[in-house]
Structure 1
Amino acid sequence: MNDLKLSNESKAFLENLRLYLFSCGKNSDEIEEVVEELKVHLLEAEKNGKPIDKIIGKSPKEYMEMVSKEMSIDFRSWIQYICLIIFGSFSFTIFSDLLEGNLSYSVLEIVGYIIIGTIFITLIFAGFKYISTTNQSSKIQGIKLFIIMSLPLFLFIGLIYLNQTIHTPIIHFGNTASVIIGVITTFFIIGMSIWSKTWIFIISLVLLIVPKYVLSFTPLKHETQLIISTLITFAGFSIYLWVLNKIANK
């Protein structure tokens, strides 16, 4: 069924439904089946001159909630997404730290990364769920996602300063162990990129490492370098998301 034949209102609702069900932890294949089935009903209704309300009712949010309740949660996929995000965040940190030599992490850092990763996952899914049920412009949605993406970055900055204040046991990795971890992490990033069919992980890695590496040759203090590199990375992510949004609109 050609999606272009649908009205903009119907297409927007289908995209919001897909996003809502994904944020509720539903199976991706089942989501596509539900969306395709509803697409047929919406197209048939529009051919007969009926408004979208005749199919989904007056409240799109209530319709989404009703569909979600009829579908089971895909715990296996949720666990996969959570592991990918947490290990992915560790991967970027590992690459960045390898530039400074052998790896070493305090217990506070390890626990902090896990907590921040968990917070980020919770915010992302909650943000997707909220955006999909509110009829707002792409600009407003982009601003809210921007805020959601900002919080973990500020938490990471806070963790850096907290780690300098509170001293906890440090786990040191030798040269061989650091190289092995770096190789495994490289394959992990490549595997994630192939699996997701996107360049976002490679681009994210470049944005995280290159600014920090370039600034390491400047006379700036280490703390200042961290802050500037974080801001550059944040700006790079914002530009990348803006470009993706422009491409999607076209």
Structure 2
Amino acid sequence: MVENHLSVKSKKFIDDLKLYLFSSGKNEQETKEITEELEAHLYEAEQNGKSIDQIVGASPKEYMMSISSEMRTDYRAWSKYIPLIIIGSMSFSIFGDLLQGTLSYSLLKIIGTILYSILFLGGVMIAFRYVARNQVSRIMEFFIYLLPIILSMLFIGGVLIVDSIYKTPFIDFGVLGSLLIGFFLLCFIIIFSFWAKTAILPVTLLALHLPTFLLSFTSFNVEIQLITSMVITYVLFGLYLLYVVKKAKSNKEVIE
């Protein structure tokens, strides 16, 4: 394939362009045709000693926006991704609840979770478009993707506080229902991570919930568990960030 012979910088631009067009609601087949044509054009240019900057100009952002403006928005085809992203956002709270037992939700929490998913979806789409068209570093990309996760988690935290004050009817899924939901979400996260080519979702889930789960088996009091859990969470995020930095440096050395 032509893409395998492109420079690292050109490959990243193609990936960013695909992401930008996807998050802008463009037709998948049309996006594939345009990016493949651009790949061939970049490959030919690089074979003649030209850089990607000579092809896309001084502003990759304007180049992407120009291509996007010439394409139609395919709302029907793109809408199939909305349930995938909503399910991914719901997994944060559901996995935390699964670690504490079977799933049982109040009507207020179900409504709040739906709103939280919409907030997460909007944040992810904005993050995708910003990262793609602004050609940010891997470190900045990590924090930008993390932002909608943090904001949506704060929102669902507020819902939980309100839910503890105002009581509404409960729906109990039982042991079997809870296990099936957990298995479905686990499969989804694995598939989504490979498709998106990022480990941000599983890393965030592990960092947020694994420390609390493991510490629950210790004899530490609640305060010690909370503090230790927070420290481990920050350490896990730090390790992943270190990995992202090293990978970015490695790619930079290849480009140079």
Shorter-chain TM-score tier: 0.7 to 0.9
Contact conserved, 1:91 with 1:185, CA < 8 A, in 2?
Answer: no
Contact conserved, 2:99 with 2:213, CA < 8 A, in 1?
Answer: yes
1:61 Cα deviation (Å)? 2.2
Counterpart position of 1:75: 75
| Offset from partner CA, 1:107-164 (integer Å, 9 cap, x none) | 3222221222211111111112112222433333333333343222332333332333
Amino acid at match of 1:219: N
For residues 88 and 37 of structure 2, the distance between their equivalents in structure 1, rounded to whole angstroms, comes to 35
Contact conserved, 2:204 with 2:237, CA < 8 A, in 1?
Answer: yes
Contact conserved, 1:96 with 1:212, CA < 8 A, in 2?
Answer: no
For residues 114 and 231 of structure 2, the distance between their equivalents in structure 1, rounded to whole angstroms, comes to 22
1:169 Cα deviation (Å)? 0.7
For residues 229 and 81 of structure 1, the distance between their equivalents in structure 2, rounded to whole angstroms, comes to 34
Q: Secondary structure at the match of 1:162?
A: helix
Contact conserved, 2:102 with 2:178, CA < 8 A, in 1?
Answer: no
Counterpart position of 1:17: 17
Counterpart position of 2:182: 186
1:51/1:206 Cα in 2 relative to 1: closer, same or farther (>3 Å)? Answer: closer
TM-score (structure 2 length as normaliser): 0.74
Counterpart position of 1:46: 46
Counterpart position of 2:150: 150
TM-score (structure 1 length as normaliser): 0.75
Counterpart position of 1:169: 168
**Which residues in structure 2 correspond to 1:1-250 (within 5 Å)?**
1-3=1-3, 5-50=5-50, 52=52, 55-76=55-76, 78-164=78-164, 166-173=165-172, 177-193=173-189, 195-196=191-192, 198=194, 206-217=206-217, 218-220=220-222, 229=229, 232-233=232-233, 236=236, 239-240=239-240, 242-243=242-243, 246-247=246-247, 249=250
Q: Secondary structure at the match of 1:104?
A: strand
1:8/1:240 Cα in 2 relative to 1: closer, same or farther (>3 Å)? Answer: closer
1:230/1:126 Cα in 2 relative to 1: closer, same or farther (>3 Å)? Answer: farther
For residues 178 and 3 of structure 1, the distance between their equivalents in structure 2, rounded to whole angstroms, comes to 49
| Offset from partner CA, 1:74-112 (integer Å, 9 cap, x none) | 435543332123233434533432444443322322222
Contact conserved, 1:108 with 1:163, CA < 8 A, in 2?
Answer: yes
Structure 2 regions of 5+ residues with no counterpart? Answer: 252-256
Contact conserved, 2:107 with 2:171, CA < 8 A, in 1?
Answer: no
* Percent of paired sites with the same residue: 39
1:168 Cα deviation (Å)? 3.5
For residues 245 and 185 of structure 2, the distance between their equivalents in structure 1, rounded to whole angstroms, comes to 24
| Offset from partner CA, 1:154-186 (integer Å, 9 cap, x none) | 32333332333x40313141xxx4123223213
Contact conserved, 2:212 with 2:229, CA < 8 A, in 1?
Answer: yes
Contact conserved, 1:25 with 1:74, CA < 8 A, in 2?
Answer: yes
The count of corresponding residues between Structure 1 and Structure 2 is 244
For residues 234 and 84 of structure 1, the distance between their equivalents in structure 2, rounded to whole angstroms, comes to 28
Contact conserved, 1:95 with 1:182, CA < 8 A, in 2?
Answer: no
